[in-house]
Amino acid sequence: MLAWGWYCLWLEPNLSDNALIQTPLHDLHLSLGARMMPFAGHALPVQYPAGLMAEHRHTRSAAGLFDVSHMGQIQLAGPNAARALETLIPMDVIGLGLNQQRYGLLLNDQGGIIDDLMLVNRGDHLWLVVNGACREADLAHIQARIGQQCQVIAMPAQALLALQGPLAVQVLARLVPGVADLVFMTGHAFVWLGHALYITRSGYTGEDGFEISVPAHAALALAQALLAQSEVQAIGLGARNSLRLEAGLCLYGQDIDTQTTPIEAGLSWAIQKVRRSGGERAGGFPGAAKILAQLDASQPLQRCRAGLKALERVPVREHTELRSPDGRRVGEVTSGLLGPSTDAPIAMAYVNAAFAHLGQRLNAMVRGKAVPMEVVAMPFVPNRYHRRSK
């Protein structure tokens, strides 16, 4: 998400306060001294008085609570829902087990990414969580494409909270017994003080943690109960941005968009074997010919997403031009900052494929000065997801 001072593309400066949607936690954010900014039509907390660095480090060491209620929640119901959704995304939906979660990519007919999302098989329906800035367009797209094959139901009465960090599990288990049994990318229905919750063990920070779908009328009480735990602090979207970048995770509209294919973005791991060439249900999704050709290298990539680390202590921001050692333009940074955990400037960029191999030296042009950078593996900070023991 957005970081204070680094979020120019995210602002909607023409929106008045009266035009902004307030999440159920709006007054709580204000009472905690949050700096609020508009995003996707919502008033959201960018940071709290402790500041971005402190919030980032607290999430890495304890537990951070994020208000992500601006995200869109959608149900797809009916016996044909999974098969219908497979016509829009290149993921295995039909084979997704009960209460299993999967990362998904909604594609246009050219193979570009309309949005990235999370989907869960909840038994009698599929549950989708889409990006806040895309939620209305996603809903319209899904309704237009598969609305005759299944029910497409928006869920505006649901809020969404994310509790992230190494101590998240012990905190949430005090309030909701049983959550510790979840593993990464699984979910389950729970009840807290009579309120129906659906909790997945997932998040967008690289840490262990949970995302909690909660009725909007109960969100404030749940957030207050979590914040009453000594390990928990409220965290703004600025720290969420720095956390996700250190984790090597894409930000929609910045690192991926309608002009980017999943393969260019380095997201081929998200396309299961059954949807690839030779698979049982190969293709059948928008842009399949192009994407499958990129996957098997019959159509070589011209560019790809790469991780970069600066060799000097100079932060490199989005839109910074990248040049080869001999001065040719070979790419552009899409996300960049001084990583609070890496204690070094890091970035993601799209780079000409010939210059995207590990160890490649490139120069970022920052205010006319060449800042040396090196292509490195991602994530920049090892993830700590709670996976099933082997």
- Regarding predicted confidence, which is higher, 215 or 15? 215
**Which contiguous run of DSSP H or E holds residue 165?**
none
Dump pLDDT digits (tens) for 36-66: 999 888 999 999 999 999 999 999 999 999 9
- Two structure tokens written together for 288: 């399949």
Class of residue 18 by CB neighbours under 10 A (exposed 0-12, middle 13-18, buried 19+): exposed
Collect all residues with Cβ–Cβ distance below 8 Å to 220 and sequence separation of at least 6.
Answer: 24, 25, 27, 28
- pLDDT over 90 at 33, yes or no: yes
Helix (H, G, I), strand (E, B) or coil at 350: strand
pLDDT for 210 beyond 60: yes
- Which segments of 32-107 does DSSP mark as H helices, in order? 52-61, 81-85
pLDDT at 9: 32
- Given its phi and psi angles, is residue 319 left (phi above 0), alpha (psi -120 to 50 degrees) or beta? left
User: What is the three-class DSSP state of 59?
Assistant: helix
Stretch 20-47: mean pLDDT: 95
> Would you say residue 138 has pLDDT above 70?
yes
Question: How far apart are alpha carbons 250 and 244 in whole angstroms?
Answer: 8
Domains of the chain: 8-71+157-235 (3.30.1360.120)
Q: Which pLDDT belongs to residue 17?
A: 52
Would you give the DSSP letter of residue 245? H
Q: Strands across the sheet with 151-154, in order?
A: 101-107, 113-121, 125-130, 72-77, 151-154
Would you say residue 131 has pLDDT above 70?
Answer: yes
The tens digit of pLDDT for each residue in 245-273 reads 999 999 999 999 999 999 999 999 999 99
| Amino acid type, 155 | M
The pTM is what? 0.94
| pLDDT grade for 18, boundaries at 50, 70 and 90 | low
pLDDT score recorded for residue 40: 82
Which pLDDT belongs to residue 188? 98
| Separation of alpha carbons 177 and 193, rounded Å | 12
| pLDDT for 14 beyond 50 | no
For tokens 């998904």, the residue is 104
Read out DSSP for 247-301? TT---BTTTB-TT--TTTTT-GGGS-GGGSTTSTT---STTHHHHHHHHTTSS--
Q: ω into residue 379 within 30 of 0, thus cis?
A: yes
Two structure tokens written together for 16: 């008045």
Residue 13: pLDDT band by 50, 70, 90 thresholds?
very low
> So what's the pLDDT on residue 16?
45
Q: What is the DSSP letter of 315?
A: -
SS3 218: helix
Q: Where are the alpha helices (DSSP H) in the chain?
A: 26-31, 52-61, 81-85, 135-146, 168-175, 216-227, 237-246, 288-295
- Which tens digit of pLDDT belongs to each residue from 342-379? 999 999 999 999 999 999 999 999 999 999 999 999 99
pLDDT, residue 19, reads: 76
Q: How confident is the model at residue 26 (pLDDT cuts 50, 70, 90)?
A: very high
Q: Which residues, 6+ apart, have CB-to-CB distance to 175 below 8 Å?
A: 192, 222, 225, 226
